[in-house]
Amino acid sequence: MTILFLVVFVDMLGFTIVIPFLTYFIQDLASNQGISDIGSRDFWVGFVIAIYALAQFIFTPILGTLSDRFGRRPILMFGLISNSIFFIVFGLSNSLEMAIIARFLSGAGNGNIAVARAYIGDISEPEQVARRMGMIGAAFGLGFMIGPFLGGVLSDPADGIGGVFNTSFWEKYQYLLPCIFSSILSIISLIMAYFWLKESIKLDSTTGKIKDSSTNSIAKITSDIIGVLSIPVISSLVLVNFLFYMAFSMMHGTFILYTAMPIESGGLGWSEMENGWVFAFIGLLGAIVQGVLIGPLSDRFGMSKLMMLGILLAGLGISSLPYVTAKMPILILGPAAGLAIGNALFSPTQSSVLTAESIARGQELGMIMGAQEGTAALARIFGPLFAAFLWSETVEGTGMWTFHTCFRVAGLIFCFALLIQFNIKSSEKNNLEI
């Protein structure tokens, strides 16, 4: 389990280490290619974020199927190799096209989180699954705390660190160092996996499982999504999940687009370092809520109420974000806390409520969860793209149509999700313990 924890942690670190600098990097690449219009330049930030999510959506079921056939261990190792290579490629990118390809291929390799979950299922007794899945959640939380911090600290080492990094090479490749760091971690994890990670399934028994692995295929995910649309309550809960993560993922690109804006344009004029600290703060709060507080809170208030509170806090957080000014930048901790706590409350409670409703209504849990994961993946693709479009159309606007628009629209999507959740007539009280 230690090796598996490290594999998942490295995957999450690879996803989050780019958060503080990706916006600046893509803006620089776009500007170097003659894209001078601010809206057109910033659109590519959302596109690069979405292309990573798209790759995960496509390749997660493919890697799951391959792991059924060839074993979990080689697929997990493939993901680490992918990380090692394509993070270096991304850091060396000198064009938008090269950066897009690198992020797509990195996302394809990072689709092996589902394989890690399957590995736990293979090696665990029923009573061990929940605790060991919790370790995967802890790896996620730890990666989200450490990744953005490292991404901010290691960006632009020529100016930020100096010394041996104060050279023309590091001035040219300002964002290569955090990519190298992530790649080195992947290589270390790969070596440990090679020597100490044992295969969890018998390869001679997988022949009969190939058909069953189609449950992880994109076609089956699509079928699951269609299948839940006619189920009362279940369809509403899945829709709420889609809307939540669509609105939440709108923040991924626009948060730093806003904080990086020049002060005279209404932004905060922040560098990668400041953004890294804020996202580390978001990760820390999320880890505290999910790791310590969610159990007692659910016992006290119940799942459904916490789920609605999570939607409300996230909506307030993203809506209030652009009203933070450069005169009082510390106030950004308020919107950041709303987003962090809101997501930390919503994610586990929504899954628990959905599970309880599925069982109470005699529904096939595998189909429901397949639809849940599929819609969440689609939300992480559409959200950044939609945000990028809104931002590009309004960033230089006036009156009502300014860069505030994107955050207001995300807040309205959260409101819509809250309205649907408020009107759901649950068949259970959902006062479950986590």
Amino acid occupying residue 305: K
What pLDDT shows up at residue 135?
Answer: 65
Considering the domain boundaries, does residue 210 fall inside one?
A: no
- Unique residue bearing structure tokens 């994109």: 218
Q: What is the pLDDT of residue 211?
A: 45
Specify whether the backbone of 269 is left (phi greater than 0), alpha (psi in -120 to 50) or beta.
left
Does residue 71 fall inside a structural domain? Answer: yes
Mean local confidence (pLDDT), 172-184: 93
Percent above pLDDT 90 for the chain: 43
Domain membership of residue 361 (yes or no) is yes
CATH number assigned to the domain comprising residue 89: 1.20.1250.20
pLDDT band at 426 (very low <50, low <70, confident <90, very high): low
Instruction: Tell me, yes or no, whether 135 and 258 share the same domain.
Output: no
**Is residue 170 domain-shared with residue 251, that is, in the same domain?**
no
Q: Hey, what amino acid is at 428?
A: E
Arithmetic mean of pLDDT over the chain? 84
pLDDT at position 206 is 46
Q: pLDDT tens digit string along 252-305? A: 889 999 999 999 989 999 999 899 999 889 988 888 887 788 888 888 888 889
| Separation of alpha carbons 136 and 423, rounded Å | 33
pLDDT score of 204: 59
Q: Which two tokens stand for residue 32?
A: 């170097």
Residue range 298-318: mean pLDDT, rounded: 91
Q: Final residue of a domain: which of 154, 174, 201?
A: 201
Give me the pLDDT at residue 418, please: 94
pLDDT at residue 327 in the model: 92
pLDDT category of residue 23 using cuts at 50, 70 and 90: very high
| pLDDT at res. 212 | 44
Asked whether residue 164 carries a pLDDT value surpassing 70, the answer given is yes
Which range is most confident: 53-57, 59-63, 424-428?
53-57
Q: Do the domain assignments include residue 208?
A: no
Can you list the pairs that 231-236 forms with residues at least 24 positions away whose Cβ atoms lie under 8 Å? 231/361, 231/363, 233/357, 233/361, 233/424, 233/425, 233/426, 233/427, 234/354, 234/357, 234/358, 234/361, 234/363, 234/368, 236/420, 236/421, 236/423, 236/424
Percent of all residues in the chain with a pLDDT value above 70, rounded to a whole number:
88
The verdict on 160 and 237 lying in the same domain is no
Residue type, 375: T
Question: Looking at the predicted structure, is the pLDDT value of residue 213 above 50?
Answer: no
* 209 domain-assigned: no
Within this chain, do residues 11 and 95 fall inside the same structural domain, yes or no?
yes
Question: 1-5, 105-109, 376-380: lowest mean pLDDT where?
Answer: 1-5
pTM of the model: 0.85
What pLDDT is recorded for position 322?
A: 92
Q: Which domain holds residue 298?
A: 219-434
pLDDT tens, position by position, 237-248 = 999 999 999 999
| Domain's final residue, options 167, 201, 235 | 201
Lowest mean pLDDT: which of 7-16, 172-181, 200-209, 331-340?
Answer: 200-209
Give the per-residue pLDDT at 434.
38
**Residue 343 CB coordination number (10 Å):** 23
pLDDT at 433 over 70: no
Question: Do 238 and 308 fall within a single domain?
Answer: yes
257 and 165 in a common domain = no
Give the residue among 102, 94, 77, 95 at the shortest CA–CA distance from 18.
102
Distances in whole angstroms, Cα of residue 67 to Cα of each of 10, 61, 75, 203, 258? 19, 10, 6, 10, 41
Q: Are residues 101 and 6 in the same domain?
A: yes
Look at 223 and 25; give whichever has higher pLDDT: 25
Where a domain ends, among 137, 168, 201?
A: 201
Is 300 in the same domain as 424? yes
Band of the pLDDT at 198, cuts 50, 70, 90? confident
Same domain assignment for residues 169 and 25: yes
In total, how many domains does the chain have? 2
Higher pLDDT, 128 or 46: 46
